[in-house]
Amino acid sequence: MRQNAAEALGKLGNASETVIEALLKALSDSENGVCENAAWALGKLGNASEIVIKALLKGLSDSDYGVRRYAAEALGNLGNASETVIEALLNALSDSDYGVRQNAAGCVRMQQRH
């Protein structure tokens, strides 16, 4: 149920403070699927505030590969090319999971084009 709620918030496209706060809370949920959908939704909503970026950077070091995958994708979607984000994505290129490496590589390529 919480997993579907996080996904629905991203699909609604409403990046209000209340929605962002709910997704940030969901990013720390005990269920990996909730965290994955929250990361996806944060990337889709386009809020590149410092608190969102910090939460997604933390997601890159989550024990669940799915959370790491969606956090990398979200960081790329947000278009934040700060040194901290680029460094974290470059570090993710050596992740044990192929999907994380693939998403990080795609994000680094996107950042280089901008």
**Domain limits, the chain:** 2-113
Average pLDDT value over all residues in the chain = 91
Q: What is the pLDDT of residues 56-102, one digit of tens each?
A: 999 999 999 999 999 999 998 898 888 999 999 999 999 999 999 99
Q: Of the given ranges (33-42, 46-55, 59-68, 101-110), which has the lowest mean pLDDT?
A: 101-110
Q: What is the mean pLDDT of residues 8-26?
A: 88
* CA dist 35 → 13, 78, 108, 109, 114 (Å): 18, 17, 23, 25, 28
- Domain 2-113 fold is Leucine-rich Repeat Variant (1.25.10)
The yes-or-no verdict on residue 109 having pLDDT over 90 is no
Confidence band of 114 (pLDDT split at 50, 70, 90): low
- What's residue 56's pLDDT? 97
pTM (predicted TM-score): 0.91
Say if CB 72 and CB 89 are below 8 A apart. Answer: yes
User: Is the separation of the CB atoms in 41 and 6 below 8 Å?
Assistant: yes
